[in-house]
């Protein structure tokens, strides 16, 4: 399902991929799931509220392809929703080919 209630330039796709994230300065990698994804970033379930502007390292797992996409991102916002903490980040550094793979896979996954 493609979400565009907010009249966004880049609609979000409600997709659940496995994602690992590490907040800059932390040693612990946290395993979670995405909430949704767009052309500029991703939202995921986080263990706690992350501060706007925090840097995070991401690894999005595309299991059916047997690959993972690595990216750097910056926290845009973090909020509570239905007893979950959701964090939205904007990509700040992602390989172009990985980015295209991620969007293509997301669109194909969405079509299933």
Is residue 1 domain-resident? no
Domain annotation covers residue 2: no
* Domain region containing 20: 7-111
Type and span of the H or E element at 7 = none
DSSP secondary-structure letter at 24?
A: T
The pTM for the full model equals 0.85
CB 16 within 8 A of CB 34: yes
- Here the CATH number for the domain that contains residue 46 is 2.40.10.220
96 within domain boundaries:
yes
Q: What pLDDT, on a 0 to 100 scale, did the predictor assign at position 9?
A: 56
Return per-residue pLDDT of the chain as tens, 112 residues: 444 445 455 567 888 899 999 999 999 999 999 999 988 999 999 999 999 999 999 999 998 889 999 999 999 999 999 999 999 999 999 999 999 999 888 888 765 5
Write down the pLDDT at residue 94: 96
Count of the separate structural domains present in the chain: 1
């Amino acid at each position: 399902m493609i979400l565009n209630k907010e009249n966004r330039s880049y609609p979000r796709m409600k997709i659940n991929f496995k994602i690992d994230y590490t907040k800059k300065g932390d040693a612990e990698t946290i395993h979670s799931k995405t909430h949704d994804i767009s052309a500029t970033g991703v939202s995921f379930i986080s263990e706690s509220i992350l501060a706007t502007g925090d840097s995070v390292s991401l690894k999005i797992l595309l299991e059916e392809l047997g690959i993972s996409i690595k990216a750097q991102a910056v926290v845009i916002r973090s909020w509570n929703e239905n007893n979950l903490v959701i964090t939205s980040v904007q990509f700040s550094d992602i390989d172009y080919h990985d980015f295209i793979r991620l969007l293509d896979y997301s669109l194909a996954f969405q079509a299933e």
